[in-house]
Amino acid sequence: MRLIDADELKRVVLRAFPPVAYDQALLVGRIIDRMPTIDPVKHGLWIEHKGGDDYIGYPIYECSECGYDAGETATNYCPNCGALMREDGEEG
Ligand SMILES: [Zn+2]
């Protein structure tokens, strides 16, 4: 699958059609508007915090995307904002 910018596609279509074909261009624009949208997957990182007054050796994890405090448990995704947490060395 290839994700494209639907709004930019509409602008290009409206410019590409000659003025006499404006109704067809609007129709194509309406078809583009009816296409399903896919939310891009948000990625984040657990920011490790160590220290503090009650530090007993376990880091506290904070979501890099929303600041959610996950306590001592670094899950695969943020339970607050849904960001997928990158593995070490993973690109993205
Ligand atoms: Zn989050």
pLDDT tens digits along 35-56 = 888 777 889 999 998 866 666 6
Please give the model's pTM, rounded to 2 decimal places.
Answer: 0.52
Q: Distance, CA 90 to ligand 1 centroid (Å)?
A: 18
CA distances from 76 to 46, 53, 59 (A): 9, 28, 16
- In this structure, is residue 92 part of a structural domain? no
Same-domain status, 30 and 7:
yes
Expressed as residue numbers, the domain containing 58 is: 41-87
Number of structural domains found in the chain: 2
Q: What are phi and psi of 55, to 5 degrees?
A: -65, 120
Q: Are 9 and 32 members of one domain?
A: yes
pLDDT at residue 92 above 70? no
- Please indicate, yes or no, whether residues 29 and 49 belong to a single structural domain of this protein: no
Based on the fold, state whether residues 21 and 3 are members of the same structural domain.
yes
Local confidence band at 4 (pLDDT 50, 70, 90 cut-offs) = confident
Q: Record the tokens describing residue 38, joined without a space.
A: 């896919």
Mean pLDDT of all residues in 10-32: 88
Kindly state whether residues 72 and 61 are assigned to the same domain: yes
> Which residues have CB under 8 Å from 15's CB, separation 6+?
none
Structure confidence at residue 78 (pLDDT): 93
Between the CA of 61 and the centroid of ligand 1 the distance, in Å, is 11
Q: Are 30 and 46 in the same domain?
A: no
The per-residue pLDDT for 90 is 52
Whether residue 46 sits in one domain with residue 36: no
Q: Are residues 32 and 46 in the same domain?
A: no
Could you say which DSSP state residue 89 is in? T
Q: Residue 79 C-alpha to ligand 1 middle, in angstroms?
A: 7
Whose CA is closest to 46, among 65, 26, 30? 65
Asked if residue 41 lies in contact with residue 1, where contact means CB atoms within 8 angstroms, the answer is no
The tokens of 88 are what? Answer: 């070490």
- What per-residue confidence (pLDDT) applies to 59? 86
